Amino acid sequence: MARTVAALRATVRHHSARFERAIPLIASENLLSPYAKEMLISDLHSRYAEGLPGERYYEGNEDVDTIERVTLDLARRLFRCSFADVRPISGTVANLAVLKALTEPGDLVGTSRLADGAHISSAGFGAFGLRGVKPVYYAWDPERMTIDVPRTREILRAVRPKTCLFGLSLFLFPMPIDELRPTLEEIGARGWYDGAHVLGLIAGGEFQDPLREGCTVLSASTHKTLPGPQHGILLAEGADPALAKKLESGAFPGVTSNHHLHAMAALAVSLAEHLEFGREYARATVRNARALAQALHDRGFDVLAADLGFTRSHTIAVRVEREGGGEAVARRLAEVGVITNKNLLPGDTSPKHPGGIRIGTPEVTRVGMGEREMVRLAEILDGFLHRGRAAETVAREVAELKAGFTTLRFCFGAGEAAYRYYDLVGRDPA
């Protein structure tokens, strides 16, 4: 068994070294700061807490109560809201908590289709199916990559769902909540926003403000444009005591028991860092996404929503059918160190063989890349996918570009190694 552990440690080191050389462009990934990472390996990892601060079912939680109160205060400050719950352990778990709080099995819930960018938790085989609610699909405008408001108004009035979910996994533009708000009020539907992808942009003032545009509750994961741990969060503004109680009950005992105290403490650090650096980071992230989209478009790539400036978020969508399709292109790019993912685009029917790839800029921004590097990256992709440059040459160019960007920015402890500071140390087991 000692050899197995030694081999596992070597694999972890190999993974870290691989990503130090690579250019990760997964829209749903980011990097933790050293202080947040420290929380993950603290004694909190070994402990258990159920309930709310001051109302625990376990002894020994006095410090945990302090940590949770600080985390809640930071969340309310960052998002300018009156209610927060930091006990969901992921974005999907946060969504399940909302579904338990706001819906009953058999309810109709408005959402977008997977091919239009929705997250799998809103599918029948995801959290919607687990709760037993039935999706009502919005009309979609594929040219603008957002909801078709007039047609969706007609759908909502005809079907009258109890809750309407806004939020995407392929999230290019703000959702038209303000425009649909009168219709939601007319039919008595609650607005719910899944802000997992754009949480850091919302906090940084670079996207939209769903809690003031008509949504009752915002659920999210905390590790995408908010560069925190893999955890979840619930937020609400002006929630009445009954709704707040339902949300708290949805989180615990609804979908969590112990809420991963080490990750909660890491989230507190990340929220504090975002209060300090979030506006600058959010601006840079969006600026890089638009710069990369423009540079790819200039080199003949079919970047969606060109007439609208490609994106207002951290994400761009590229149709790559003529380059071989999303599956083949994502695999080829990974072989030279550019990490993306295949992605459904409007009109696609197979999630395993979609026509597009999704590209995000949270991580490359976190390590200090800017618009000049986005242009250079577009040149590299053009050479590889359009001009037949050898994979070995391109992989070397990717590693050379990344070599100058391996330390963290926009956090306390900036300048620490982004990919190596958490490597395991010490001797391997005998």
User: Tens of pLDDT along 391-426?
Assistant: 999 999 999 999 999 999 999 999 999 997 655 445
Helix (H, G, I), strand (E, B) or coil at 386: coil
Q: Return the ∠ at Cα 104 (arms to 98 and 105), rounded to 5°.
A: 115
Identify the CA nearest to 198 among candidates 178, 177, 169.
169
DSSP per-residue string spanning 110-135: EE--GGGT--GGGSTTTHHHHHT-EE
Handedness of CA 377, 381, 386, 392 (dihedral sign): positive
CB 337 within 8 A of CB 399: yes
What is the band of 124 on the pLDDT scale with cuts at 50, 70, 90?
confident
Q: Would you give the DSSP letter of residue 169?
A: S
Confidence of residue 122 (pLDDT cuts 50, 70, 90): confident
For 36-271, CATH number?
3.40.640.10
Strands (E), 63-185: 83-85, 108-111, 134-137, 140-141, 146-147, 163-166
Q: In whole numbers, what is the pLDDT of the chain averaged over residues? A: 96
Helix (H) or strand (E) holding 156: helix 149-159
Domain residue spans of the chain: 36-271
Give the pLDDT band (50/70/90) at residue 300.
very high
Q: Which residues pair with 236 in a beta bridge?
A: 83, 217
Nearest alpha carbon to residue 164 among 196, 135, 202:
135
pLDDT tens column, 323-363 = 999 999 999 999 999 999 999 999 999 989 999 999 999 99
Quickly state the pLDDT bin for 126 (edges 50, 70, 90): confident
